Amino acid sequence: MTLYFTKDHEWISVDGDTATVGITDYAQSQLGDVVFVEVPAAGTAVTKGGEAAVVESVKAASDVYAPVSGEVIEGNAALEADPSLVNSAPEGEGWFFKLKLANAAELDGLLDKAGYKAFVDTL
């Protein structure tokens, strides 16, 4: 399983042609207490850089962008019942959706963990 990050603070973990997407620990810390999450339904087509989900906190509402293009195979229904999972386990149980990769080459422009940490250190 390979982990990538975007400068929009999403993470993507890839296993074969299936990817799991969520927001980073940095992103959830900036948002504050998450009160609502809207995840895409299975069968939804997403494009790299396009809006894929919504996360609302006591501070703000933010879009979650698709790090790569593909077809959503599962939205994390647990977030509807317990949006605080985004705060307590942003890079674990607080994932947003899983998708089938349309083009693995789109992963090439993403950051690795060290690159993402270096980027966050400049903020």
What is the predicted pLDDT for the residue at 9? Answer: 97
Domain range list for the chain? 2-102
Q: What is the pLDDT of residues 12-56, one digit of tens each?
A: 999 999 999 999 999 999 999 999 999 999 999 999 999 999 999
What is d(CA 3, CA 79) in angstroms, rounded to the nearest whole number? 21
State residue 82 phi and psi, 5-degree precision.
-140, 75
**Continuous H helices in the chain:** 25-31, 78-81, 85-88, 113-121
In this prediction, residue 4 has a pLDDT band, given cuts at 50, 70 and 90, of: very high
d(CA 66, CA 40): 11
> Residues 45-104: pLDDT tens digits?
999 999 999 999 999 999 999 999 999 999 999 999 999 999 999 999 999 999 999 999
Instruction: Report if pTM > 0.85.
Output: yes
Q: Which tokens sit at 81?
A: 């019942």
CATH code at 2-102: 2.40.50.100
Question: Positive or negative CA dihedral for 67, 68, 69, 73?
Answer: negative
Residue pair 25/14 in contact (Cβ under 8 Å)? The answer is no
Residue 1's pLDDT is: 81
DSSP-assigned states of every residue in 50-82: SEEEEEEESS-EEEEE-SS-EEEEEE-THHHH-
Query: Which DSSP category does 49 fall into?
Result: T
Strands of 51-57's sheet, edge to edge? Answer: 34-38, 51-57, 61-65
Give the mean pLDDT of the chain.
Answer: 97
